[in-house]
Structure 1
Amino acid sequence: MLARRYGLWALIVVLVGVAVLPLPDFWITQLNYIGLYSLVCLGLVLLTGVAGLTSFGQAAFVGIGAYSTAWLTLNTGLSPWLTLFIGLGLTAACALILALLTLRMSGHYLPLATMAWGLSLYYLMGNLDALGKYDGLLGIQGLTLLGWEVGQGRGFFALTWTIVVLAALAIVQLLDSRAGRAMRSLRSGTLMAEAMGVSTLRYKIIIFLIAALLASLSGWLFAHFQRTVNPSPFGLKMGIEYLFMTVVGGVGHVWGALTGALLTKLLEDQLQVLLPQWLGTSGSYEIIVFGIVLVLMLKFLPDGLWSFVDRRVPRARRKEDWAGAPDLPARAKPEQGELVLDVQAIRKEFGGLVAVKDISFQIRAGQIVGLIGPNGAGKSTTFNLISGVLSLTSGNVVFRGEKIGGLRSREIAARGMSRTFQHVKMIPDMTVLENVALGTHLRGTKGVVSAMTRLNRSEEQQLFREAQRQLERIGMGAFLHEQAGNLAMGPQRLMEIARALCSDPALLLLDEPAAGLRHQEKLALGGVLRQLRAEGMSILLVEHDMDLVMGICDHLVVMEFGTYLTEGTPAFIQQSPAVRAAYLGTEH
């Protein structure tokens, strides 16, 4: 824990030592390049490591930042500090357009699209007369800060690495925030994130913009460091190298970005000297070595070199500083017996297949309603139609007097309906507390800038206090700081319920919460659900475990082959010949 706590200070001490010690200028120059590369890799940690989006086009954004300041300072005489913001604005505009065009893609299409825009911008830079074509632009002025000439040596080192450390700290703060938890949920797919109220496309665009702006900042520094720009450093080859650096260092770790940039640059320089000596001929053999290293890394160390540190150095326990935080605003709850959900003849067709045919039922406040039926009866499809995961073919769903048919799942969640999943969906490398706090997303307002500048602390305390309250409510208060991936199936399912409760729902939808649980865990689950009903919670339960269903439900709706079969109390359903026929194939 001490190593993590003082690791940053150790890095700062090293950087200050490098700046003041009489190291050769060659090593200062190398460290300057490593700092420039680190900024791009930090963006890729967010883009690829956190959001799971692969991009080979980051070098093109470096080029936009470099060419913007180069052209503007040479042709307009503007201050480089002013051209920085103009370049960032131009980069943001380009990145936003590209994000809107490409981020809805999935699979291999997104990486191919990033290659396409990287190549397009590279050839655009190389063919415009105003940008000097492939010869580029020469004679770019250096940077000055408050009358001090930054230069290309230790002054530039101090400026660059100050920016790198501040950027890394900003990203660390971002990831440990309401917005950061939403970003970290993207990697596991959109279903869970959207159900928690997260606009997944919005956060993908935000991440894409941050990564592009960091790359543009690196390009601005590069132009005033090199004093010349040409298209060569901004092509597809460099885009691949940036991704390589990030993967080697640890694409899921902020400090892995710095590690990957450092080791790759040092290794590249040494190989360029040693390989021709060993082989007796010149050539870009270091590329072959890098390819082999990448294959071996992906095979044996997919989490990168920084994962060694992350596994061996204990994480510091989160300081519990939210005990006195005020309660989050709560929504008005329905009165006991009030109609909460009215499902009106909903229907779902997949081509010519009718999966759900005109199902209708109601749920009232303080009631547990079970939706049961044999395998293939259409229960999960009905559940997904109600929660907005699937669109209705016909019919409607009315929630607390408002028609919600056709709304997205996050819009339905915002109105007070929350759900769990048949297969537990969580973020394994986050703590139980952090996973549950994701459920409070709709109840917070602080965004990316507040998180990066630590202006969100008071709201974070409120969100964590609510997460702790819900965990204690279901008997999991002792698991706050446990890593979620270490939990057994029973506690994981209870954790999902706590996360759903954090959104302050009027209706809780549970999709097979007892699946995979042992007997004692089922008894504990039943106790939790009875407690929630006693507190006035309305629950829709899809479940195959008949002992649990009959023991806790007030009302049951039975489906068969996508159609409504019957409904009534558990006692009525147990005696129904139609239900016995549906489950056993006979009325006797």
Structure 2
Amino acid sequence: MKPMFSPRLILGVFLAVLAVAPLVLSPFYVTLLNYIGLYALVALGLVLLTGVGGLTSFGQAAFVGLGAYTTAVLTTATELPGWLAWAGGSPWLALVVGLVFTAVVALVLGSLTLRLSGHYLPLGTIAWGISLYFLFGTLDTLGGHTGLTGVPPITVFGFELDRGEELFYLIWLFLLSAVFTTQNLLDSREGRAIRALKGGMVMAEAMGVNTARSRMIIFVIAALHACASGWLYAHLQRFVNPTPFGLHIGIEYLFMAVVGGAGQVWGALVGAGVITIAKQWLQDVLPRIFGQSGNFEVIFFGLMMVIVLQRARDGLWPLLARLVPVRATRRELDAAAEALPRKPLPAKGEVILEAKEVTRRFGGLVANNNMSLSVRAGEILALIGPNGAGKSTMFNQISGVDTPTSGEVLFLGRAVAGRDSREIARMGMSRTFQHVKLLPTMTVLENVAIGAHLRGDKGVLSSAWRLDRNEEARLLNEAARQIERVGLAEHMFDAAGSLALGQQRILEIARALAADPCLLLLDEPAAGLRFKEKQALAELLKKLRGEGIGILLVEHDMDFVMGLVDRVVVMEFGQKIAEGLPEDVQRNPAVLEAYLGGVE
């Protein structure tokens, strides 16, 4: 059995090696480490943006250019506008201006680009990346393609960092600060919202996550990381020209994130190190092998990317982690944390959901036609019907995924038609999905905590600097309480993807309960379950009904439904053909004809 190493020990050794590196290495290798640090800072933003958030960007080099050119202009210009004169000549003030300017540009570009989906999103980033690159080379103020020279060194407490060995510590301080704040962010309420983006927009919105905001957050953070890298680069090189900010460099940054491990924070360092060292080595070796100069390393990197995508899609970091096994640190719950406040449940028997004459047309197709139903607190209502009857469409009208063509849906006396899913979730309606939507690599505890997203309010800065710990403890305790409530306590720290299908469906219910709902919408929760799993699910739903929660159940399994629910609504061809007690519906000739195959 391999020895397990403490994460703190590994980190301590790494920091010690960094501390002595400039003292024992030649200037060439110190310079190489400087560039690895600069590139890793950009790649770290792409880990957050692409690996965690699922948004592909080829334009990060342009943000590096914004940071570099901002500081170059402010520190070398002899005349500046009066409103900007206060920042002239100071690299540190130039950094502040650069970060603010980059954030504004990222907000504008993000508002345009992030509306795109599929392959249109990376194409959009290519478009503005190329535009900014040519802007750098066109404006005379920025020196055209010749660039700007005479960029002064950074000064710290009166000491000039005018050599690579001196700037080394500042570069790696920036990088390590970004690594630790990114880790903190991902290990928080905001971080779970960001990670939920990969589970699908519908799931994340249903849990109360503002997906547009989360996408914009990681887009801006990635741009700010790139800006800081550009600022450091400008003062390391002492001059700036457009060449390092082109599209081909943006692609290279993406290579670094993917090769290192697009979903791994420390993978950014690995990817930047591997690509930078390999590039330097190949530029020396390949011309000797082929007997002529050329960009042979580009061909090599293309082949390497194909191999990595085939053989190690998670990048090199997981492979390294297996070679040096690190002792897993299990998150401890704070038993002393104060419980989250709960909304009072409506009185049993009170109507909490009412759909009135809901009609949904898709062109000439009428998916729902004058559908009406109601759900009371402490009741289970089943919505059943053959395939194509319109149940899922009706489910979407109720949950806010879709909007009725006509009719209305009232929840707790308030119209929900036209409201977005997260607003409906805040009102007290929560749901599961026909096809399980979980984040398989996250623990059961973290998946359920996503459901409690709306019950917290700490933002990005609080999360990044660990100022959210009290709220985080309360959210995790609530998630643990719901996990115990549904009978999955022994799997609390297991990866959600390791659970059986039946347990995953129960997990989805726990996640929905973490939102503190008074109405649960369950979309075919018994689909694919074995007999004993269905029995366990039925017992859980009966318990929830007994606690006063209303449940709307869309289901195909008649045996499961009839022994569980209080009332049944039957649909066929988008219309309601029967409603009543289970035993009455079972004897209804129209139901037998439509759903059970007819009357003999």
Q: What TM-score bracket applies, with the shorter chain setting the length?
A: over 0.9
| 1:448 and 2:450 aligned | no
- 1:171/1:254 contact within 8 Å kept: yes
Name the counterpart of 1:543.
555
2:349 to 337, 342, 348: 337
| 1:6 and 2:9 aligned | yes
Matches within 5 A, 1:155-554: 155-310=166-321, 313=325, 316-554=328-566
What amino acid is the match of 1:401? G
Hey, what's the Cα distance between the residues in 2 that align with 1:79 and 1:334? 62
Name the counterpart of 1:575.
587
1:403-428, Cα deviation, whole Å (9 max, x unpaired): 11111111111110000000100001
Hey, what's the Cα distance between the residues in 1 that align with 2:89 and 2:513? 55
What amino acid is the match of 1:14? V
Residue 189 of structure 1 and its aligned partner are, at CA, apart by 1.6
Hey, what's the Cα distance between the residues in 2 that align with 1:309 and 1:388? 45
Residue 2 of structure 1 and its aligned partner are, at CA, apart by 3.2
1:17 to 2, 6, 20: 20
Hey, what's the Cα distance between the residues in 2 that align with 1:162 and 1:263? 20
- 1:29/1:152 contact within 8 Å kept: no
Residue 97 of structure 1 and its aligned partner are, at CA, apart by 0.5
- 2:376/2:550 contact within 8 Å kept: yes
Name the counterpart of 1:92.
103
Deviates more, 1:147-156 or 1:407-416: 147-156
- 1:66/1:219 contact within 8 Å kept: yes
- 2:6/2:327 contact within 8 Å kept: no
1:113-150, Cα deviation, whole Å (9 max, x unpaired): 11111110111110111111000000100001011112
Hey, what's the Cα distance between the residues in 2 that align with 1:282 and 1:328? 66
Hey, what's the Cα distance between the residues in 2 that align with 1:404 and 1:8? 51
What amino acid is the match of 1:471? I
Residue 584 of structure 1 and its aligned partner are, at CA, apart by 3.4
Name the counterpart of 1:68.
70
| 1:555 and 2:557 aligned | no
What amino acid is the match of 2:237? Q
Hey, what's the Cα distance between the residues in 2 that align with 1:518 and 1:308? 37
Hey, what's the Cα distance between the residues in 1 that align with 2:339 and 2:464? 24
Give the TM-score taking structure 2 as reference length.
0.96
Deviates more, 1:301-310 or 1:93-102: 301-310
Hey, what's the Cα distance between the residues in 2 that align with 1:256 and 1:141? 32
Alignment partner of 2:452: what SS?
helix
Alignment partner of 2:281: what SS?
helix
Alignment partner of 2:198: what SS?
helix
- 2:333/2:476 contact within 8 Å kept: no
What amino acid is the match of 1:209? V
Name the counterpart of 1:35.
37
Hey, what's the Cα distance between the residues in 2 that align with 1:174 and 1:396? 40
What amino acid is the match of 1:543? E
Alignment partner of 2:145: what SS?
helix
Hey, what's the Cα distance between the residues in 1 that align with 2:299 and 2:329? 43
- Where does structure 2 lack aligned partners over 5 or more consecutive residues? 81-87
Hey, what's the Cα distance between the residues in 2 that align with 1:309 and 1:486? 23
Name the counterpart of 1:26.
28
Residue 78 of structure 1 and its aligned partner are, at CA, apart by 2.8
Residue 5 of structure 1 and its aligned partner are, at CA, apart by 4.0
Number of aligned residue pairs: give it: 587
Hey, what's the Cα distance between the residues in 2 that align with 1:465 and 1:408? 28
Q: What is the RMSD of the two structures over their aligned residues, measured on CA atoms? A: 1.1
- 1:398/1:404 contact within 8 Å kept: yes
What amino acid is the match of 2:30? I
Residue 324 of structure 1 and its aligned partner are, at CA, apart by 1.1
Residue 340 of structure 1 and its aligned partner are, at CA, apart by 0.3
- 2:433/2:523 contact within 8 Å kept: yes
What amino acid is the match of 1:495? L
Alignment partner of 1:423: what SS?
coil
Residue 11 of structure 1 and its aligned partner are, at CA, apart by 1.7
Give the TM-score taking structure 1 as reference length.
0.98
Hey, what's the Cα distance between the residues in 2 that align with 1:285 and 1:35? 25
Matches within 5 A, 1:115-130: 115-130=126-141
What amino acid is the match of 1:185? A
Hey, what's the Cα distance between the residues in 1 that align with 2:542 and 2:12? 51
Residue 586 of structure 1 and its aligned partner are, at CA, apart by 2.5
Name the counterpart of 1:111.
122
Hey, what's the Cα distance between the residues in 2 that align with 1:585 and 1:554? 24
Specify whether residues 512 and 5 from structure 1 end up closer, same or farther in structure 2 by C-alpha distance, changes over 3 A only: farther
Residue 545 of structure 1 and its aligned partner are, at CA, apart by 1.2
1:356-384, Cα deviation, whole Å (9 max, x unpaired): 11100111110000001111111111111
Residue 311 of structure 1 and its aligned partner are, at CA, apart by 5.2
- 2:194/2:215 contact within 8 Å kept: yes
| 1:143 and 2:154 aligned | yes
Hey, what's the Cα distance between the residues in 2 that align with 1:201 and 1:316? 33
Hey, what's the Cα distance between the residues in 2 that align with 1:527 and 1:47? 42
Hey, what's the Cα distance between the residues in 1 that align with 2:514 and 2:527? 22
Hey, what's the Cα distance between the residues in 2 that align with 1:315 and 1:494? 30
Name the counterpart of 2:48.
46
- 1:348/1:355 contact within 8 Å kept: yes
- 1:317/1:481 contact within 8 Å kept: no
Specify whether residues 360 and 350 from structure 1 end up closer, same or farther in structure 2 by C-alpha distance, changes over 3 A only: same
What's the % identity of the aligned pairs?
57
Name the counterpart of 2:84.
none
What amino acid is the match of 1:368? I
- 1:67/1:131 contact within 8 Å kept: yes
Hey, what's the Cα distance between the residues in 1 that align with 2:199 and 2:377? 33
- 2:5/2:327 contact within 8 Å kept: no
Name the counterpart of 1:81.
92
- 2:256/2:272 contact within 8 Å kept: yes
Residue 509 of structure 1 and its aligned partner are, at CA, apart by 0.5
Hey, what's the Cα distance between the residues in 2 that align with 1:310 and 1:208? 28
Hey, what's the Cα distance between the residues in 1 that align with 2:200 and 2:436? 13
- 1:5/1:316 contact within 8 Å kept: no
Residue 112 of structure 1 and its aligned partner are, at CA, apart by 0.9
Hey, what's the Cα distance between the residues in 1 that align with 2:400 and 2:322? 39
- 2:262/2:268 contact within 8 Å kept: yes
Specify whether residues 321 and 471 from structure 1 end up closer, same or farther in structure 2 by C-alpha distance, changes over 3 A only: closer
- Where does structure 1 lack aligned partners over 5 or more consecutive residues? none
Alignment partner of 2:434: what SS?
coil
Hey, what's the Cα distance between the residues in 2 that align with 1:191 and 1:463? 22
Hey, what's the Cα distance between the residues in 2 that align with 1:143 and 1:340? 63
Hey, what's the Cα distance between the residues in 2 that align with 1:474 and 1:317? 25
Deviates more, 1:190-199 or 1:574-583: 574-583
Hey, what's the Cα distance between the residues in 1 that align with 2:521 and 2:7? 40
